[in-house]
Chains A and B, each alone.
Chain A
Amino acid sequence: MSLPFLLEIGTEEIPDWMIPGALESLRGQLESMGIDARMDATPRRLTARAQDLPERLPDTEERVTGPRKSAGEKALEGFARKQGVTPADLQLEAEYYTYLRKTPGRKMIDILADSLPGIILKIAFPKTMYWTGKAGPRFIRPIRWIVALLGGDVIRFELAGVRSGNETSGHRRLSRDRKGAVPVTIENYEQQLRDNFVILSAAERRKKIEDGIAALNVRLKPDPSLLETLVYLTEYPTPIVGEFDSRFLKLPKEVLITVMRHHQKYFSVEDESGHLAPRFVAVMNTSGDPEGLVRRGNERVLRARFNDARFFWQTDQSKKLADRVDDLAHVTFQAKLGSYLEKTRRVADLVQDLGGDEHARRAAFLAKCDLTTELVKEFTELQGVVGGLYARAQGEPEEVWHAIYDHYKPVSMEDSIPRSRTGQLVSLADKLDTLRECFRIGMAPTGSRDPFGLRRAAQGIVKILVEGKVNGPSSHLLGDIVRPQLKEFFAERVKFYFRDVKNFAYDEINAAMAAGWDDLIDLQGRLRRLQTIRPTPDFEPLAASFKRIKNILRQAEFTGGLFDPALLEPGPESDLFAEINRTAGQPIEDRIGALRPKVDLFFDKVLVNAPDPAIRANRLAMLHNVLEQFRTFADFSEIVTNS
Chain B
Amino acid sequence: MQSFQEIIFGLKQYWAERGCIIQEPYDVEVGAGTMCPETFLRVLGPKPYRVAYVQPSRRPADGRYGENPNRLYKHSQLQVILKPSPNDVIEQYLGSLEAVGIDLAKHDIKFEEDNWEAPTLGAWGVGWQVMLDGLEITQFTYFQQCGGIDLDVVPAELTYGLERLAAFLQVKDSVYDIEWAPGFTYGDVRLQDEVQFSVYNFEMAEVDTLWKLFALYEGEAARLLALYPKSTQKSRFPLLPAYDQVLKCSNLFNTLDSRGAISVTERVGVIQRVRKLAVGVAQAWADQQRTAQ
Q: CB within 8 Å of B: which residues of A? A: 12-13, 15-17, 43, 127, 129-134, 141-142, 144, 161, 172-174, 178, 233-234, 264, 266, 282, 284-286, 289, 291, 293-294, 296-298, 300-304, 307-308, 311, 329-332, 335, 338-339
Could you jot down 20 A-B contacts, CB within 8 Å?
A12-B111, A133-B84, A142-B85, A173-B94, A234-B110, A282-B108, A286-B105, A286-B107, A294-B107, A294-B108, A297-B135, A298-B133, A307-B68, A308-B71, A311-B64, A329-B263, A332-B264, A332-B268, A339-B263, A339-B264
Which partner residue on chain B sits nearest A140 by CB separation? B126
- Specify which chain A residues have a CB less than 8 angstroms from the CB of B265 in the assembled complex: 338
Please measure, in the bound complex, the distance between the C-alpha atom of A300 and the C-alpha atom of B107, giving whole angstroms. 14
Contact in complex: B69, A307 (CB < 8 Å): yes
Q: Which residues of A contact B84 (CB under 8 A)?
A: 133
Smallest CB-CB separation from A303: which chain B residue? B173
> Who on chain A is nearest to B175 by CB?
A304
Find the A residue at minimum CB distance from B84: A133
Task: For the complex formed, measure the closest distance between the CB of A624 and the CB atoms of chain B, giving whole angstroms.
Answer: 57
> A131-B154, A301-B135, A339-B264 are known contacts; what are 5 more A-B pairs with Cβ within 8 Å?
A130-B154, A134-B152, A142-B142, A144-B87, A294-B108
Provide the residues of chain A in CB contact with B126, threshold 8 Å.
Answer: 127, 129, 141
CB within 8 Å of A: which B216-242 residues: none
* B107 CB contacts on chain A under 8 angstroms: 286, 293-294, 297
Size band of the B side of the interface? 35 or more
- Given A134-B150, A330-B262, A338-B264, verify A301-B133 contact (CB < 8 Å): yes
7 A-B pairs closest in CB distance = A297-B133, A15-B113, A13-B111, A284-B108, A298-B134, A301-B134, A339-B264
Query: A283's closest neighbor in chain B, by CB?
Result: B108
CB atoms of A307 and B135 under 8 A apart: no
Give the residue of B67, B106, B262, B267 whose beta carbon is less than 8 angstroms from that of A293: B106
Total A-B Cβ pairs within 8 A: 115
The chain B residue sitting closest to A144, CB to CB, is B87
Bound state CA distance, A308 and B154, in angstroms? 37
- B52-74 vs A, CB cutoff 8 Å, 1 = contact: the mask equals 00000000000010011111000
B142 near A294: Cβ-Cβ < 8 Å? no
Task: Report yes or no: B70 in contact with A294, Cβ–Cβ below 8 A.
Answer: no
Which of B90, B110, B112 has a CB less than 8 Å from the CB of A12? B90
CA of A15 to CA of B113 in the docked complex: distance in angstroms?
A: 5
Residue of A with least CB distance to B71 = A308
Q: Are B69 and A304 in contact (CB under 8 A)?
A: yes
Whether B288 is near chain A, meaning CB under 8 Å from some CB there, is no
Q: B2 near A: Cβ within 8 Å?
A: no
Q: A329-B263, A338-B265 in contact; A131/B85 too (CB < 8 A)?
A: yes
Which B residues touch A43, using CB under 8 A? 111
Which of B107, B113, B267 counts the most chain A CB atoms within 10 A?
B113
Rounded to whole angstroms, the CA-CA distance of A217 and B71 in the bound complex is 36
Taking CB atoms, residues of chain B closer than 8 Å to A332 are 264, 267-268
User: Which single residue of chain A is at the shortest CB-CB distance from B125?
Assistant: A129
> In the complex where A293-B133, A297-B107 touch, is A133 in contact with B69 (Cβ < 8 A)?
no
